[in-house]
Every structure is written in structure tokens, then in C-alpha cells.
Amino acid sequence: MKALLIDDERLARNELRRLLAAHPGITVAGEAADADEARALVAALRPDLLFLDVQMPGDDGFALLESLEPPLPRVVFTTAYDEFAVKAFAFNALDYLLKPVDPARLAAALEKLAAPGGAGGAPADRPARLGPEDKVFVREGERCWFVELKAIRLLESEGNYTRLHFDDVQPQLFRSLNAMEERLDPRAFFRANRRQIINLAWVDRIEPWFSGGLLVHLKGGAKVELSRRQAQAFRDRMSL
């Protein structure tokens, strides 16, 4: 696995590099001291794994993740002691390491990554379209998630943002709906109207609506209106 070390402290990066030497499966492809350097390296090297310090000058770890184009590499956060961050991670079961890093904890985290089901595909053949297992990083206030696309029922446009509906939350993603549509697999996600994209796997039932349109009920309660034209496209899609 190709890894990128992102931490503003040189010694912290050294430490991590030294610890990772004991894991031959992981190659440290590069180091970044801040979010800008990290963005450049992620684009150039397409790493499978990021070791990401939460607190950095300029953009912090979360802001960096929000700005990366999906699909995201796997991420292991590192933090010295940040009550908020630790809580957020525990809440979302995201993986994190406390500095100074305990070698045993590092080994456990790496083992979890080796398990199948991650978004760590070989960089060369990363598809242009995102699959249902690919994850998106989204943050709202004190909470953050790595959410699999298949868990997102509905995407709603709010200006330059998109509101994602999954589980019982609706955080905003700093990406426009159109930008999202370009990345989503059209076999799984359908543009229902100007403001909404629905996940076809979450369709509960459909009823006829005004002027030849349709009202789609999603599992979870949302109702989405389709115009007549979209309804036709929808029928075409569903009967495939």
C-alpha cells in the first residue's frame, strides 16, 4: 500500500516513518507538512492510505479531506490529545492513532485496512465514476463521517452545496449537485429533478402524480417529485 504522511511536525513524521518500517506492506510514498502540499501529493501520487494529523496550520485535517475529490484513500487520523477530535472519531468509528503512537495500535489499525471492502483499489484503474462502496468525507459542525455512497438515500442541491441524506443526518457537502452527478454511477443514482438526485436502491414505492409525473417514496420517508419528462426517463431506467 502506498502511504502519505501528513503532519506539520517533522519529528512526528519521522516517528511514523520509523514505526512503519516494521510493516513491509506499507511504502511511504511521500510526506506533506500542510494541506496544500498534501493536496498536490495526493493528486500526483494517488496514495492508498493517508496518515493525517488533525491539527495543522492553515487547513486542518478535516478541511483537507473535504476538499479532496472522491474516491478517497483510506485515512488514519493522528492526534496528540484533542478531546473533541477523539470524541468525533469514537462516535463515527473512524480510525485514529494517539500520539505518541503505540506500535501495537498501529499494527491493529493496519490490519483493519488490509481487510477487504475498502476503497483502496490500485490507483491506475480507479474508475471515473464512483461505485456504491466508495466513501465520501463529510463534516458538519463537530461531527464527521466517511459515508459509503450506497448509504446515501438522497442528494439535494443547496446552492454550491449538496445536502446528503443518510442514516438520520443530513450534513452538507461542499460540492454542487451537478459536480456530484458527474461522478455518480447513473445506474445507481437518478437525477429526479433540478434539485434532487435519488439512490435507486432506496426507492420504496411509486405513485402517479400531477401532469403525468410520478411521486417517488424513498425508504426513510422522503418524497421526491418527478416531472413528466423525468418520469419517462425513470420508467426507462427501472425497466432495464
Partner 1 sequence: MDAPPSSLAFGVDPELRRRARERLYVGCQVAGWLFFLLLQLLFVQLFTASPNHGGTVAASGQAVAIGLLLTHVARRWILRWGWKELGWRALVPRILGMALALSAAWMVTTYGLYYGLLRNPWPQKYHPLAILSLALVNGTVLMAGWLCIYFFYHLFDRYNRLQIEQLRLLAAVKEAELRALKSQINPHFIFNALNSLRGLIDENPARARQAVTQLANLLRYSLQSGHLETVPFEDELNTVNDYLALEQVRHEDRLRVRLDVAPEALHCLVPPMLLQTLVENAVKYGIAPRREGGEIAVRAWCARDLLRLEVTNPGTLAANGGSTGVGLRNAGERLRLLFGDHATLQLREDPPGRIVAAVGVPLEAAAPERPAEARRPAPAMASRPV
Region of residue 16 (left: phi > 0; alpha: psi -120 to 50; beta: else): alpha
141: left (phi over 0), alpha (psi -120 to 50) or beta: left
Which C-beta is closer to partner 1: that of 20 or that of 33? 33
Q: Is 61 helix (H, G, I), strand (E, B) or coil?
A: helix
Report if residue 14 touches partner 1, rule: CB under 8 A.
Answer: yes
Closest approach, Cβ 66 to partner 1, in A, equals: 18
Q: Which of 57, 116, 141, 159 binds partner 1 (CB under 8 A)?
A: 57
Closer to partner 1 at the Cβ: 81 or 128? Answer: 81
Give the sign of the dihedral formed by CA 141, CA 146, CA 149, CA 150. negative
Q: What is the largest CA-CA distance in the chain?
A: 66
- Binding residue (CB under 8 A) for partner 1 from 46, 62, 82, 179: 82
The reply on whether position 87 binds partner 1 by CB under 8 A is: no
87: left (phi over 0), alpha (psi -120 to 50) or beta: alpha
Among positions 22, 40, 58, 112, the unique one binding partner 1 when judged by CB under 8 A: 58
Minimum CB distance to partner 1, residue 4 (Å):
18
Residues numbered 133-152 forming contacts with partner 1, rule: CB under 8 A: none
For position 130 contacting partner 1 by CB under 8 A, the verdict is no
Member of 5, 12, 49, 64 binding partner 1 (CB under 8 A): 12
Q: Which residues of 201-225 are buried (b: 16+ CB within 10 A; e: fewer)?
A: ebbeebeebeeebbebebeeebebb
Q: In the 8-state DSSP scheme, what is residue 154? A: E
Considering the complex, state which of residue 57 and residue 221 has its C-beta at the smaller distance from partner 1.
Answer: 57
Residues that bind partner 1 (CB under 8 A): 8-12, 14-15, 18, 33-34, 55, 57-58, 80-82, 98-101
